[in-house]
Amino acid sequence: MSRSLSFESDPVDQPAASDALERATWCALRVRVGDRFASRIWDRELNGERTTLYVPAFPIAEWIANNWWFLFHEPCRWEAVPRSVGRPAEFDWTRRHCLRAADSALLLPNLFVFHDGHGPRVEWRPDASGSLPNMPGEFIGYGAEPLDAGPTQSALGEFVRATLGRVSHLPDERALELATLWRSIEKADEDERQFCTLAGTMGIDPYDPDTMTEELASFLEEAATEHTLPLVLDLAKVSGPGTIEERWSWIVEASRELGMLSGPRLRFPDLPSRDLSPAEFGYELARKVRRRLSEELGPLPSVEELGPLPSVEEAANRLLAGRFRVVARNHVPGKEVQAIVGMTLRGEVIAAGPEVPSESGRRFQVARRLFHALIGRESCPRLVTRGFSWDQKASRAFAAELLAPQRALMARLADDLADAQFIDQAAGEFQVSSMVVQRQLENAGAGLSAD
């Protein structure tokens, strides 16, 4: 079955609805993700479970259309989908990506749709007991799934079109506005879709002149060529209207002065499947790299497969036949862009970015740059950033496993409980931060002592 998100609806007569659009579009709705239902609810009156919701379709269709470019292109700005909206950025992002934001007065699941850097993704969460006292029940399902973009777009588009068909006879300005917006989305040509994709990636409404200024629109149209689009998308995922142009200037200048004409094209053989999660992909690639360093290329001095890595640069040059060079390039506007990785005409891979103060931080950063050198086959350089897209998450997992393998840490652990002293000692031995060791142990299932 296709991994798609769909809204299955059947018209329901609801004469009590005071709003004409809601009355015309009232329906029995089920929210399906593949072969699962994200609309599972515990009904207090029935004292049982059901998957059908009785709601008007119009607010949902309106939310889908208004947020179309965000749903399919904007990444999550944090390591995980926020559970609260205490900060303005969290509130705004949730409004664009959470189905419940379509209408807070409706019984809708706490379901999020966003781009994870690899493709669209859906996550839905159960409600805490007693958290919806004024509703007939609480949602009980949980899930997180990657989505097939094409089938999901088709399914959501069909829902919007069907809803518009049910209100086409009504002289309501809201229906006319939705119909106009949907025509713009459906009729967008390739250039318009690319422009809207970039705007959506940044969290900017491409149709709103207050946020999509003429200056920003001109910049996006000029910067995003067929050759540079992946690089501009990397930047758009971590930049806003006030920062993207300045950061782009740094990227262009660094690329020109260092002679980076393309992305790295020395792809590591036998890459893991992209169907894996970012963490699984990064871990598996790191293990393959260590095995290749140990078995095929000959061990680094005094290092076995699970031992500390003395030099990330030396390991990189063994893998890339001496063609990997780290260059200090400071004065990047802001902290979100951490490096640019590209290839020169002579086939040298250059990883350029700000100097990192600590040695452990520098090693981790160089390992992340190596990740992008190993997986890339793009027409343009790529960025290492503080973002949380699929590639950026995978690069962190790769760096952690390359520098401090889980098996090595667990082998040094006397039991399944690690205390602060062990973490600090392991961090010193593997020349990584204590946080890297702690995360590696947690992901391996080790307990952490409070002492």
- pLDDT at 443 (0 to 100): 92
Two structure tokens written together for 186: 């459906």
Which run of H or E residues covers position 227? Answer: none
Residue 255 makes CB contacts below 8 A (sequence gap 6+) with: 261, 340, 342, 381
pLDDT of residue 97: 98
Alpha helices in 114-272 (DSSP H): 149-167, 173-187, 190-202, 214-223, 229-236, 244-258
Residue by residue, DSSP assigns 387-431 as: --SHHHHHHHHHHHHHHS-HHHHHHH-SSSEE-HHHHHHHHHHHT
| Tokens representing residue 158 in the block | 């069909």
pLDDT digits (tens, 9 = 90+) for 184-223: 999 999 999 999 999 999 999 999 999 999 999 999 999 9
Specify the pLDDT at position 298. Answer: 61
Rounded CA-CA distance 319/144 in Å is: 35
How confident is the model over 48-60, as a mean pLDDT?
97
415 — pLDDT class (breaks 50, 70, 90): confident
DSSP 104-122: TTS---EEEEEE-SSSEEE
Q: Mean pLDDT for the chain?
A: 92
**Residue 73 backbone phi and psi in degrees, to 5:** -140, -25
Nearest in space to 271 (alpha carbons), one of 359, 416, 394: 394
Quickly state the pLDDT bin for 1 (edges 50, 70, 90). low
| pLDDT of amino acid 84 | 82
Residue 165: exposure state from Cβ atoms within 10 A (0-12, 13-18, ≥19): exposed
The answer to whether 309 touches 402, Cβ cutoff 8 Å, is yes
What pLDDT is recorded for position 393? 96
Smallest Cα–Cα separation from 251: which of 164, 160, 148, 338?
A: 338
Q: What is the pLDDT of residues 256-311, one digit of tens each?
A: 999 998 777 767 888 999 889 999 999 999 999 999 888 765 655 444 567 889 89
Partnered with residue 51 across adjacent β-strands are none
Q: Is the pLDDT of residue 433 over 60?
A: yes
pTM of the model: 0.91
Per residue in 149-181, pLDDT tens?
999 999 999 999 999 999 999 999 999 999 999
Residue 266 has a pLDDT of 67
In this prediction, residue 302 carries a pLDDT of 44
pLDDT value for 303: 47
Going by C-alpha positions, the residue among 308, 293, 340 that lies closest to residue 437 is: 308
In DSSP notation, 243-266 reads: THHHHHHHHHHHHHHHT--B----
Digit-coded pLDDT (tens) for 370-403: 999 999 777 789 999 999 999 999 999 999 999 9
More confident residue, 81 or 84: 81
Q: Which of the pair, 294 or 98, is modelled with greater confidence?
A: 98
